[in-house]
Amino acid sequence: MRRPTSLAILALSAAVALPLAPASSAWARSAGASKALQAIDTDNDGTIDLKEAQSAGEATFDKLEKDKDGTLTTKELQGRVSRKDLNAADGDHDGTLDKKEYGALVEQRFKAADPDGDGTLDAKELKKPAGRSLMQLLK
């Protein structure tokens, strides 16, 4: 009887593993959304409301604002906001976001992530593109 070659074993391994990749990726996204939800959900009701999102946004602003000048530059934002979104949120047009502007952006993204308008976001809503966009501002 002929022994299987390494190439055949590799092909068989790939054939078995590939169908599992999307599921494990979806599981990782789901686990990430649940973990993020738990970190921000201070009243432990399984959802994030606007007050919780704003509180998390303020904490993130404070963490990112290294030079303590009251604003976030594109460098301090670390890719959380595109140039286009920065310009739209920058009410005083100084090229930075102050805490009020950052908070307004958090609120805008929260509302975009809440398509049913119930005032709360669950893990399912946080997994969608608008929810992930909000979470970029909160972590």
Q: Which domain holds residue 42?
A: 26-138
What is the per-residue pLDDT across 38-84, written as a single tens digit (0 to 9) for each?
889 999 999 999 999 999 999 999 999 999 999 999 999 999 999 99
Number of H helices, E strands in the chain: 8, 4
The CATH number of residue 64's host domain is 1.10.238
What pLDDT shows up at residue 38?
85
Q: Domain count of the chain?
A: 1
pTM of the shown model: 0.76
The torsion angles phi and psi of 72, rounded to 5 degrees, stand at -110, 125
* In a domain? residue 119: yes
* In a domain? residue 2: no
* In a domain? residue 3: no
* In a domain? residue 83: yes
Band of pLDDT at residue 31, cut at 50, 70 and 90: low
Q: Which residues contact 126 (CB under 8 A, 6 or more apart)?
A: 33, 36, 37, 48, 113, 132, 134, 135
Mean pLDDT of 32-37: 68
3-state SS, residue 73: coil
3-state SS, residue 3: coil
Check residues 64 and 34 and name the one with the higher pLDDT.
Answer: 64
